[in-house]
Structure 1
Amino acid sequence: MAESQAFLKLDRRIQHYLWAEGWGALREVQEKAIPLILPADQDVIVAASTASGKTEAAFLPALTHLLQQPDEGLIVYISPLKALINDQFGRLDRLCENLEVPVWPWHGDITATSKRQFIQKPRGVLLITPESLEATLCNRGTSIAGLFKLVTFIVVDELHAFIGTERGKQLQSLMHRIETALGRKVPRIGLSATLGDMSLAAKFLRPDREVALVDVKSTGGQLLILVKGFEEPSAEDGTRRKNDPEKERAPLAIAEHMFKVLSGSNNLVFPNSRREVERYTHLLNSLCEQGQSPREFWPHHGSLSKEIRYETEAALKQRERPATAICTSTLELGIDIGAVKSVVQIGTPPSVASLRQRLGRSGRREGEAAILRGYVIEDALDDKADLETQLRLDTVQTAAVISLLLEHWFEPPVVGGAHYSTLVQQLLSAIAQHGGLQARRAYQLLGAAGAPFEGLTKRSFAELLRNLGQGEILTQDHSGLLLHGRIGDKIVNHYSFYASFATDEEFRLVAGGKTLGTLPVSQMMSPGQRILFGGRTWLVEDIDEPHKTIHVSPAKGGAPPLFNGGAGRVHTRVRQRMRELYVAGESLSFLDATAQRFLDEGCIAFETLALQDRVLLDQGSQAILLTWLGDGANEAIACLLMSRGVQAFSGRLGVEIVRGELSLEEIEDRLADISSEAAPPLDELLANANNLIRQKWDGLLSPHLLRETYASSNLEMDEGLGWLRTTLEHRISQ
């Protein structure tokens, strides 16, 4: 340690603490980050694998800088999770107590007494969520400058979890509003384990100046991967079992295998929905009961009470008894649950970046391999097998994601989007903070150059103000000062206002007055679309957005749809890798015999159907435009078709087109017309689009602004049009 120049730069009290704790050396990420952060004269992103020491890489130099100041200082640490704040408090409190630096956790579960103590003397380290920071700015008004007067750093943990989201735009706005109140820039430190493009992440952290980058690639211990395939046999009546929980056999077989290989160790299991979390937790604990063994399997998802979630986290942290969590992405971020032996993915991973983040939980002990177990389920092949079954899409997509993971590629962060929903929230919050704002000042604070919503035109801002005024969200006094209107005042004074994101809502599916269940929807839907639910195909008749209800009727004939509900948006690179796997037809070392058979069968179907050379596929009453593009480009092409009177929807292979009376040649002609012209205005393009309301305050936007914010976050128009123009240089139907 004595030879480390970074170590020698640290405050002597911190050096003594590290010696006392038995540190033999600083880690690579700390060696690189300390000299960049210590002067407090630039923004820094620290990207490294889970458990690499990123927290210390930020706080050791930040605390050293704080201790070197003649006046007391303040470090603001912003986390996406209350549980992560609790963990970091445990890690920092002992170090900071030694330094006589107070540490203040601040979220909804912290007592009012502790918060008052911080407000009386705002120094040390403040650990806070964006929502609590929002409440502070909203309610503390003009005292914000005094409250944050001593701030020397703003540290953002799990940076990747914010980028491209409404919560991320809220975070950008909060940091900007604090700096505006202070009249100076505060150095920002971003910490993340998963960043696909460091330059885009830097643009998110600080859009208007350069950011120093520390990107420590994992040297990577051994990585063990095995994907097992399970086949769901056809029911005796010839119907498909898959997607019908009452008939499925494969989940029980998967549970039995997991019980055999996971029992006696700590693991994380990620199914793809809350329903599946409940199902597998029940199956696994039933096996515990049958074997008269103690409970080892615990659920964790956002709909559970915090007591149940804490119970699961506590079971993982203790080491006396083995525990495995069956969870959604709630345990994907850096909550300290200790090392786990393996990570299990049931079904297709949401993304390469998500799988990488999850896998970072395993192999954290010296000398241990990281272990990924995957499970895929495919229906048995028979004369009723649909295209998705023939192509073994789940297996091939899973294989594509894993192959990209092994190449160290993952999705770049999404930094664009208008985020008008969060603009509404930030406007209302800023008005509360300042006791009213002139429209010109509000625009400068939120939409001008260097502001969080930079790119917002004055015309769009004026339209937003008019619409909010008509809805009594805002009002103006005789001097033109913007104030909360009758309804806006109620919104801001409700406890739910401080969160920029909507709680997860699912659409209720109703057929003939009977509720079939609920379905998460992640892409645009329209009447006439076909969806798969409960093992059956349904036709969308009507979408009741205010009541989150989709009215459906049984679909007659035609191929089942490939609509994937709320499974997450897929990047173009993943779809292109799927096509490459179909063309190559090779064996993959991480697939077991059954999963490899699924891949082989998919490749055979791909070759038999001549999909390598076909772009427009006849499916009877439907046609599929085989683009092999991501969801954003596919949805853009679908919107372009719908603007010309052709019903079309984004699907897993490309764009699903309802033919009606159209021949394939007529569809091709429509596509050729689209590719030869510029995209129509958004109001024309999305005139017939439904369920565009996705974010919390979208319902307060005018129809035009709603279409604009939806398109900016969901449609890759340039990519979609570019693909059409390239493809249509020659005839596409075969």
Structure 2
Amino acid sequence: MSGIDDLDPVLIHHIVNTLGWPGLRPLQERAIDPLLAGEDAVLLAPTAGGKTEAASFPLLSRMTAERWSGTSVLYVCPLKALLNNLLPRLETYTGWLGRTAALWHGDIKATARKRILTGRPDILLTTPESLEAMLVSANVDHRSFFAGLKAIVVDEVHAFAGDDRGWHLLAVLERMQRIVGRPIQRVGLSATVGNPAELLHWLQGAEVGKRPARVVAPHLGDRPVSGSASVPPGDIQLDYVGSLENAATVIAALHRGEKRLVFCESRRLVEELGEKLRAKGVTTFLSHASLSADERRRAEEAFAEARDCVIVSTSTLELGIDVGDLDRVIQIDAPATVASFLQRLGRTGRRPGSTRNCLFLTLDESGLLAAAALLLQWSRGWVEPVVAPPEPRHIVAQQILALCLQEHQVGDRLWQEWWAGLAPFGQSAEPIVRHLVDEGYLDQDGGMLFIGPEAERRFGHRHFMNLTAVFTAAPEFTVLSGLTEIGRTDPSLLTESVQGPRRLLLAGRSWQVTYIDWNRRRCFVEPVDSGGKAKWSGVGFIRPTSYELTRAARDVLLGTDPQVQLTGRSRGCLSEARHRLLEYVRPAGTLVVREPNDDVRWWTWAGHRANATLAATLGNLADPAQRINDCWIRLSTDLTPPVWKQTVADAASRLCLPAVHEQALKGLKFSTALPRRLAEATLAARLADLEGAAAALKEPVRFSTVAD
């Protein structure tokens, strides 16, 4: 077993004398052996577990021992802000060995990029989108620049693996490996997940089974169990406050003199809470994706240097961006996942002698129930497995176009080789290639494929920059006060009918609109005292609640409390919810309930995706006009137990995928580059939960009627 003595002697000297560390943390010790041996690995630890050093110290030692030259290590992150935050540390570590690190993403100026291309830093910090932009850029000789590439570190790898950016990253990595002509060591850094071994296999892509690999997770005894995780100790409290105004009152009154990070689940709530806190005299800063980069940076820097203050944020501050030494984390309602809660909890308790803590302030009954369900699952030691979205055909279309842009032309029988058998970029993608040719996205001549006029028209703006971004962003207007960009707002706020002056709420302040430049999508504002409104309407669909969390909500209603501190207000509200919903929950099955108004509902408690699958499977038995939710499905009013029995007898063996709405297709970027049926099939597979639906169908069903 390798240990600290196997690292480069200069590194050891600085770890002891410059950093003043008495030794390495368990993760850092255990990562040395596999990384020095060139193995692929996932390094698993709670937030602030020293993962960056666990990856960089062994790789830097190899860099010196094996005399790597040029850009030999890529450090990939999901957020530009996280890269900005990491750069000083990696510059320090590389500097100890006479090496260099540099930053490359969309905010880096052209002059800095030119220095990077000529200087070739040993470690390049970047995003997958910027990495692909380098591959397709006419200004980057990517074969020469990446000739010395040996390893890639993927920070917050779980954040990639759970959505389409993960498929995009894997596909770009396979193209990189073909360019350099050898396997690239892959090291993923992750917070606690429910399936670390599967996450490692995902990261290996087409190399899985071909290269040695291991999960390094000392806090789990190096024996990760799928679907479970250790529960870190902490001071967790669940409160019910009933409104955002009351939440602001509680935050203003509690923990004075401390630094508090408050998480909200929408940008609108961030803005409204920020405004209310400032009105109560609380020093408040804001952070969310629709604020300008300068506005967010100023807020985060000011917050890091202050003491008695609050920063209100969406998930933008959930990942490992350093905002100084936090005292408290406060959560408004509940995050979408246990994994997200673990990330947020890990922002506290970093000082010696301090405890990890989180105060939940719930605004209504549904928020309280969601928070209680999440905390119940957490207290059981459960965390979501990270699962890649199924059937990413739109990413396949994007990658084929990007490859043709990168290589200028590709053999119409050779394109599959670029992804080395990584599913689904192989033979199954041939219908997509044919569609791209038929629709003019690709031209075909002499057995070669190259970019066609339709791709130029749809994606060619600004040197095909739109082709490297996987997500479709909702159209927003840039808001400017003089020459200063404040952020971006939803265009509907600029078009809806209002009485009196039009006012916006942005950066926690109210602004009056003075001029709108419709052609350039800009609006100019000046500050006012109050009256601003915040609104953003996303493209696509809201992230639904899972089968497991919805079933945990049922357990809460049946009387199980999470193992956290519940305030008297939260206990009172839970008691009322349990009494009100008593007739809709049962511990060992589901209920079909007929209401006094003859409304018939099947209370499945199976989650949004499972219910969407069940509604599609039941056909005419389910109300086709209903809006699917987590808890129940509306059924035909003439339903009888015999009809039910006959319908569901074989339903589990013929589960149907949900129908796809046009608006959801618009949120699937590059869906226009797919045949309509394949775009719909892709989304339908993502809207479904076949396992949850099958489990609900197998449970016994009881019919009941609610009396007036």
3-state SS of paired residue (2:693): helix
Match status 1:482 vs 2:445: no
Match status 1:47 vs 2:14: no
Instruction: Check whether the contact 2:440–2:455 (CA below 8 A) recurs between aligned residues.
Output: yes
Separation in 2, partners of 1:687, 1:201? 29
Instruction: Check whether the contact 1:38–1:61 (CA below 8 A) recurs between aligned residues.
Output: yes
**1:714-729 equivalence runs, <5 A:** 714-724=687-697, 726-727=698-699
Structure 1 residue 71: deviation in Å? 4.5
Q: What's 1:65 paired with?
A: 62
Residue of structure 2 aligned with 1:640, choices 617, 628, 646: 617
CA deviations on 1:669-688 (whole Å, 9 max, x unpaired) are 574266165245x6xx6387
Q: What's 1:360 paired with?
A: 346
Separation in 2, partners of 1:640, 1:508? 37
Structure 1 residue 407: deviation in Å? 3.0
3-state SS of paired residue (2:417): helix
Instruction: Check whether the contact 1:123–1:150 (CA below 8 A) recurs between aligned residues.
Output: no
The 1:224/1:679 distance shift into structure 2, 3 A limit, reads: closer
Q: What's 2:648 paired with?
A: 672
Q: What's 2:569 paired with?
A: 594
Q: What's 1:228 paired with?
A: 239
Instruction: Check whether the contact 1:221–1:368 (CA below 8 A) recurs between aligned residues.
Output: no
Separation in 1, partners of 2:214, 2:561? 42
Match status 1:624 vs 2:601: yes
The 1:352/1:472 distance shift into structure 2, 3 A limit, reads: same
Residue of structure 1 aligned with 2:53, choices 53, 56, 63: 56
Structure 1 residue 349: deviation in Å? 2.1
The 1:168/1:667 distance shift into structure 2, 3 A limit, reads: farther
Letter in 1 for 2:304: K
Residue of structure 1 aligned with 2:312, choices 311, 326, 336: 326
Letter in 2 for 1:68: A
Q: What's 1:453 paired with?
A: 424
Identity of aligned residues (%): 27
Separation in 2, partners of 1:256, 1:687? 43
Separation in 2, partners of 1:121, 1:587? 55
Separation in 2, partners of 1:224, 1:359? 10
Aligned residues: 630
Separation in 1, partners of 2:642, 2:292? 54
Instruction: Check whether the contact 1:84–1:335 (CA below 8 A) recurs between aligned residues.
Output: yes
Instruction: Check whether the contact 1:616–1:664 (CA below 8 A) recurs between aligned residues.
Output: no
Letter in 1 for 2:266: S
Instruction: Check whether the contact 1:269–1:345 (CA below 8 A) recurs between aligned residues.
Output: yes
Structure 1 residue 640: deviation in Å? 2.1
Letter in 2 for 1:637: L
The 1:183/1:717 distance shift into structure 2, 3 A limit, reads: same
Q: What's 2:580 paired with?
A: 605
Separation in 2, partners of 1:669, 1:108? 58
Match status 1:335 vs 2:310: no
Q: What's 1:276 paired with?
A: 269
The 1:137/1:214 distance shift into structure 2, 3 A limit, reads: same
3-state SS of paired residue (1:692): helix
The 1:211/1:676 distance shift into structure 2, 3 A limit, reads: closer
3-state SS of paired residue (1:483): strand
CA deviations on 1:1-42 (whole Å, 9 max, x unpaired) are xxx9511111111111112221111111101001111122x1
Separation in 2, partners of 1:92, 1:600? 52
Deviates more, 1:25-34 or 1:488-497: 488-497
Structure 1 residue 206: deviation in Å? 0.8
Structure 1 residue 417: deviation in Å? 1.0
Separation in 2, partners of 1:594, 1:120? 63
Separation in 2, partners of 1:115, 1:216? 39
The 1:610/1:200 distance shift into structure 2, 3 A limit, reads: closer
CA deviations on 1:206-249 (whole Å, 9 max, x unpaired) are 13225311113289875111121124xxxxxxxxxxxxxxxxxx
Q: What's 2:384 paired with?
A: 411
Separation in 2, partners of 1:377, 1:79? 33
Deviates more, 1:161-170 or 1:598-607: 598-607
Separation in 2, partners of 1:498, 1:676? 40
Structure 1 residue 279: deviation in Å? 0.3
Structure 1 residue 357: deviation in Å? 0.7
Match status 1:429 vs 2:402: yes
Q: What's 2:181 paired with?
A: 183
Letter in 1 for 2:644: E
3-state SS of paired residue (1:584): coil
**1:84-103 equivalence runs, <5 A:** 84-103=82-101
Separation in 1, partners of 2:563, 2:96? 53
Separation in 2, partners of 1:80, 1:646? 41
The 1:732/1:179 distance shift into structure 2, 3 A limit, reads: farther
Letter in 2 for 1:133: L
Instruction: Check whether the contact 2:602–2:635 (CA below 8 A) recurs between aligned residues.
Output: no
The 1:103/1:418 distance shift into structure 2, 3 A limit, reads: same
Letter in 1 for 2:466: S
Structure 1 residue 505: deviation in Å? 6.7
RMSD of Structure 2 on Structure 1 (CA): 3.0
Structure 1 residue 638: deviation in Å? 2.0
Residue of structure 2 aligned with 1:306, choices 268, 287, 293: 293
Structure 1 residue 470: deviation in Å? 3.8
**1:363-512 equivalence runs, <5 A:** 363-378=349-364, 392-446=365-419, 449=421, 451=422, 453-454=424-425, 457-458=427-428, 461-477=429-445, 479-490=446-457, 491-492=459-460, 493-504=463-474
Separation in 1, partners of 2:7, 2:44? 21
Q: What's 2:506 paired with?
A: none
Separation in 2, partners of 1:586, 1:655? 22
Residue of structure 2 aligned with 1:161, choices 136, 147, 159: 159
Q: What's 2:523 paired with?
A: none
Q: What's 1:113 paired with?
A: 111
Separation in 2, partners of 1:47, 1:687? 37
Structure 1 residue 49: deviation in Å? 1.1
Letter in 2 for 1:228: D
The 1:677/1:104 distance shift into structure 2, 3 A limit, reads: closer
- The unaligned stretches of length 5 or more in structure 1 are 232-249, 289-294, 379-391, 517-564
CA deviations on 1:576-624 (whole Å, 9 max, x unpaired) are 2222222235586521001111111222233355655652123446433
Instruction: Check whether the contact 1:51–1:364 (CA below 8 A) recurs between aligned residues.
Output: yes
Letter in 2 for 1:464: I
Instruction: Check whether the contact 2:329–2:344 (CA below 8 A) recurs between aligned residues.
Output: yes
The 1:645/1:485 distance shift into structure 2, 3 A limit, reads: farther
Separation in 1, partners of 2:322, 2:491? 38
Q: What's 2:215 paired with?
A: 213
Separation in 2, partners of 1:312, 1:46? 31
Instruction: Check whether the contact 2:608–2:630 (CA below 8 A) recurs between aligned residues.
Output: no
CA deviations on 1:323-376 (whole Å, 9 max, x unpaired) are 321111111111111231111111122111111111110111111011211111
The 1:514/1:641 distance shift into structure 2, 3 A limit, reads: farther
Instruction: Check whether the contact 2:231–2:379 (CA below 8 A) recurs between aligned residues.
Output: no
The 1:614/1:56 distance shift into structure 2, 3 A limit, reads: closer
Match status 1:15 vs 2:22: no
Instruction: Check whether the contact 1:342–1:372 (CA below 8 A) recurs between aligned residues.
Output: yes
Separation in 2, partners of 1:698, 1:670? 38
Instruction: Check whether the contact 2:264–2:314 (CA below 8 A) recurs between aligned residues.
Output: yes
Letter in 2 for 1:633: A
Match status 1:701 vs 2:694: no
Letter in 2 for 1:486: P
CA deviations on 1:440-485 (whole Å, 9 max, x unpaired) are 2223334x63x2525x553xx33322332343222212x1311111
Structure 1 residue 123: deviation in Å? 4.3
The 1:665/1:500 distance shift into structure 2, 3 A limit, reads: same
Instruction: Check whether the contact 1:648–1:657 (CA below 8 A) recurs between aligned residues.
Output: no
